[in-house]
A = this chain, B = another copy of it.
């Protein structure tokens, strides 16, 4: 990488990750498919309108897949694609940094 410019792929990656809530949404989906309200409950500070917007962006970017199950009532779930799941090492690195450098305790963190 040249001294005076950033890698376009790095920039593009942070176009996605550098949006409020996106990292938290991806983290919330790492344990498997979830419904809209599951994610909404896991991230209380985020409005449903914002979550709907982020889901659309992440689906358009190929990071999540929206499954519609034709049941009654219809069931809709969101799942990480391979591209989305591939962000797990990023999320783990963020968690490790947070564990080391962020002050408030995480009462039930694994480590």
Chain A interface residue count: which class? 35 or more
Q: Which of B1, B22, B110 contacts A1 (CB 8 A)?
A: B110
Instruction: Count copies of this chain in the complex.
Output: 2
**What residues of chain A have their CB less than 8 Å away from a CB belonging to chain B?**
1-14, 17-24, 27-28, 31, 38, 41-43, 83, 86-87, 89-102, 104-106, 108-110
Give chain B residues whose Cβ lies under 8 Å from the Cβ of A91.
10
Complex Cα spacing A21 to B18, Å = 7
Complex Cα spacing A87 to B95, Å = 11
Give chain B residues whose Cβ lies under 8 Å from the Cβ of A6.
24, 27-28, 42-43
Q: When the two chains form their complex, are residues A1 and B106 in contact, meaning their CB atoms are under 8 A apart? A: yes
